[in-house]
């Protein structure tokens, strides 16, 4: 489930921003769709090569092509396209959001948070943007009170979102507020009961509360779904208590 948010909704939003008739409209539609990445890249490139396109539609095309590059794991190209979009239209919040996701993948927390912050300034009522900044800060173990405020605001805007409940559960885990962490993970798992990350996070919170039997069941269930889930939490710095209690740890290969 982690992480990008609202890909389909974003594509629809970008498509609706496009203007033009006939072949031009079809090209914009092909640029925005995400079923055929080759078609998306070619159509977006065609728009960008058309001198008659306005700045807003060119910015949208850059974002859509960036999404296609990102789906292909070509993050440097995606980053370049998102930056072009920001240069053409500094009010396009989704461009900052998507560029922030690339910075997050590249491990550049400062730039990721800066881009998420700009997206929030432009669209303060976008729940996904608040959740993204919450998560970026949480995994970096930084500014946890801001992270908590972001996740709480995201849930106010979009209640009962499993992704954000998982994020806030992790923030509470970082803060040592274990009962609240378990509560958020419980709520997330009621919505997505097979989400390995939520199961593992809840297992760690229970383990730290001394509920070893229930913790072991959660950790085992998470590893059955995603065998390398402990590796992810190790990268987040959540590992030491697992060594002696459950025998879990990062794989050697």
Residue 210 located in a structural domain: yes
Residue 219 located in a structural domain: yes
Residue 236 located in a structural domain: yes
Domain that holds residue 90: 1-124
CATH of the domain at 38: 1.25.40.10
Residue 147 located in a structural domain: no
pLDDT tops 50 at residue 80: yes
pTM of the full predicted structure? 0.82
Please state the domain count of the chain.
2
Q: Looking at the structure, do residues 194 and 119 belong to the same domain, yes or no?
A: no
Residue ending a domain, choose from 83, 104, 124: 124
**CB 169, CB 144: distance < 8 Å:** no
Q: Looking at the structure, do residues 27 and 120 belong to the same domain, yes or no?
A: yes
Q: Looking at the structure, do residues 14 and 111 belong to the same domain, yes or no?
A: yes
15-23 mean pLDDT: 47
- pLDDT score for 248: 43
Q: Looking at the structure, do residues 80 and 171 belong to the same domain, yes or no?
A: no
Mean pLDDT of the chain: 86
Q: Helix (H, G, I), strand (E, B), or coil: what is residue 240?
A: helix
Q: Looking at the structure, do residues 14 and 104 belong to the same domain, yes or no?
A: yes
Q: Looking at the structure, do residues 16 and 114 belong to the same domain, yes or no?
A: yes
- pLDDT score for 247: 44
pLDDT tens profile 88-105: 999 999 999 999 999 988
Q: Looking at the structure, do residues 163 and 46 belong to the same domain, yes or no?
A: no
**CB 47, CB 58: distance < 8 Å:** yes
Q: Looking at the structure, do residues 164 and 100 belong to the same domain, yes or no?
A: no
Q: Looking at the structure, do residues 18 and 71 belong to the same domain, yes or no?
A: yes
pLDDT tens profile 100-119: 999 988 889 999 999 999 99
pLDDT tops 60 at residue 87: yes
pLDDT tens profile 142-194: 999 999 999 999 999 999 999 999 999 999 999 999 999 999 999 999 999 99
pLDDT tens profile 209-236: 999 999 999 999 999 999 999 999 999 9
Residue 93 located in a structural domain: yes
Residue 135 located in a structural domain: no
Residue 145 located in a structural domain: no
**CB 181, CB 201: distance < 8 Å:** yes
Q: Looking at the structure, do residues 114 and 3 belong to the same domain, yes or no?
A: yes
Could you tell me the CA-to-CA distances from 120 to 37, 67, 86, 131, 141 in Å, in that order?
A: 28, 20, 14, 10, 21
Q: Measured between alpha carbons, how far apart are the two ends of the chain, in Å?
A: 25
- Alpha helices (H) in the chain, listed in sequence order: 7-17, 22-32, 37-48, 55-71, 75-88, 93-105, 109-122, 127-140, 144-157, 162-175, 178-191, 196-209, 212-225, 229-235, 240-246
Q: Looking at the structure, do residues 50 and 166 belong to the same domain, yes or no?
A: no
Q: Looking at the structure, do residues 117 and 175 belong to the same domain, yes or no?
A: no
Residue 218 located in a structural domain: yes
More confident residue, 185 or 252: 185
């Amino acid at each position: 489930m982690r992480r990008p948010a609202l890909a389909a909704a974003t594509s629809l939003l970008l498509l609706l921003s496009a203007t033009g008739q006939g072949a031009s409209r079809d090209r914009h539609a092909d640029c925005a769709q995400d079923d055929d990445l080759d078609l998306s890249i070619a159509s977006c490139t065609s728009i960008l090569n058309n001198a008659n396109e306005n700045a807003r539609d060119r910015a949208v095309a850059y974002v859509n092509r960036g999404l296609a590059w990102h789906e292909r794991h070509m993050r440097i190209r995606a980053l370049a396209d998102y930056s072009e979009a920001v240069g053409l239209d500094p009010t396009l919040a989704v461009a900052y959001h998507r560029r922030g996701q690339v910075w997050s993948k590249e491990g550049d927390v400062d730039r990721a948070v800066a881009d998420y912050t700009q997206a929030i300034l432009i669209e303060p009522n976008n729940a996904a943007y608040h959740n993204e900044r919450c998560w970026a800060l949480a995994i970096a173990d930084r500014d946890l009170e801001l992270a908590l405020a972001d996740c709480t605001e995201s849930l106010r805007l979009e209640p009962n979102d499993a992704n954000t409940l998982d994020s806030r559960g992790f923030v509470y885990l970082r803060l040592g507020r274990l009962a609240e962490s378990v509560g958020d993970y419980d709520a997330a798992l009621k919505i997505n009961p097979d989400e390995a990350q939520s199961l593992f996070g809840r297992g760690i919170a229970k383990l730290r509360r001394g509920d070893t039997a229930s913790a072991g069941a959660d950790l085992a269930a998470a590893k059955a779904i995603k065998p390398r889930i402990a590796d992810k939490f190790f990268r987040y710095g959540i590992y030491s208590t697992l060594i002696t209690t459950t025998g879990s740890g990062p794989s050697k290969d």
